[in-house]
Homo-oligomer: A and B are copies of this chain.
Amino acid sequence: MSEEHRLPAQTYQRIVLAARPRGQVAPENFRLETATLPTIDDLKINEVVIKNHYLSLDPYMRGRMSKAKSYAEPQALDQTMIGATAGQVVASRHADFLPGDYVSGMLGWTEMAIEDGAALRKVDAVILPLSVYLSVLGMPGVTAWYGIHRILQAKAGQTLVVSAAGGAVGSVVGQLAKLIGCRVVGIAGGEQKCAYIVDELGFDSCVDYKKFASEEELTDSLAAATPDGIDLLFENVGGRIFDASLARLNPYAKIALCGMIAGYSANSDNAQALKNSGKLLTMRATLQGFIVTEHMDVWPQALAELTELMVAKKLHYKEMIAQGLAAAPNAFIGLLSGKNLGKQLVRF
């Protein structure tokens, strides 16, 4: 290790889980800490020091904050919050990474981190902005791709509905389905989101669930937007939003169950209660719950296709950017209540 790669002892900030939330997530669940980076001499072989530029905030983090058994181990208390990041190498003992290289990884809610190179993905921040590796060309984009191609197997002429349609996953789902030739209807909360979804993302229609006082009104509005029923459903929300789509299912409908954000912060199970579950039977539906990180084999193909579409400017996206690590908790709380339009990021 040559002298010029030596780093001075350096402090950085990180956010740890201070307490598990009871119901709604609150700022007190998090704690901002100052940590000190080891000197470069302490780096082990293959380790890389990264300075993060962006942190991705995603709904799955809410699940990790709880103790309840889910698809992954709970986030440990007093440890750096889990999260995807994009940044730059500042020091390296790994042959594939040089200072200045752009990388994405799962480094968490932290300004800096040391990581084994095997867990890092080198990305090209020249052709495309660095932040897209946390949205369209990251987990949200691959999630959309997997649901559309592997679960729903969308075909031209089918009607696809996607909830949380303005979010990082939903916006890609609908655009991929449009490229295939589907009729695409989004469900989202708020006029501004619906305008974005139709005018900028090119969906055929968008149902603003906040406009309706009753479940009947919501169902009626979705019925008007899906005159031929629903063949394919990409579900991100659960609860009454999911119920409205269930009521419109066609025979042999397929459902990709990706998220149930409606219930993540609920104190009772009722927020996720499905009243129209009988439709799964009467419409002989197929439903598949999935977590894209369990399907790493599809990532290379998915990322190649998504990159090609991004370079050709066939996929549009929006980012909401919170400034500085300290802003992360409130940005995350906003994401859980649907305040974001497009991908929610934190920039350091």
Residues of A within 8 A of B (CB): 63, 69-71, 238, 242, 251, 257-260, 263, 269-270, 272-278, 280-291, 294
**Contact for A284 among B71, B273, B274, CB less than 8 A:** B71
Report the Cα distance A44→B68, complex, angstroms: 67
A257 near B280 (CB under 8 angstroms)? yes
B280 near A287 (CB under 8 angstroms)? yes
Report the Cα distance A286→B270, complex, angstroms: 22
**Contact for A238 among B272, B277, B283, B288, CB less than 8 A:** B277
- Chain B residue, CB-CB nearest to A255: B287
Report the Cα distance A63→B71, complex, angstroms: 36
Q: Contacts A251-B71, A287-B286, A288-B286 known; A259 to B272 CB distance under 8 Å? A: no
Q: Contacts A71-B251, A251-B71 known; A278 to B288 CB distance under 8 Å? A: no
How far does the Cβ of A313 sit from chain B's closest Cβ, in whole Å?
A: 33
Q: Would you mind naming 18 contact pairs between A and B with Cβ atoms under 8 Å apart? A: A63-B282, A70-B282, A71-B251, A71-B284, A257-B281, A260-B277, A263-B278, A269-B275, A270-B275, A272-B275, A272-B276, A280-B287, A281-B289, A282-B289, A284-B289, A284-B291, A286-B287, A286-B289
How far does the Cβ of A268 sit from chain B's closest Cβ, in whole Å?
A: 8
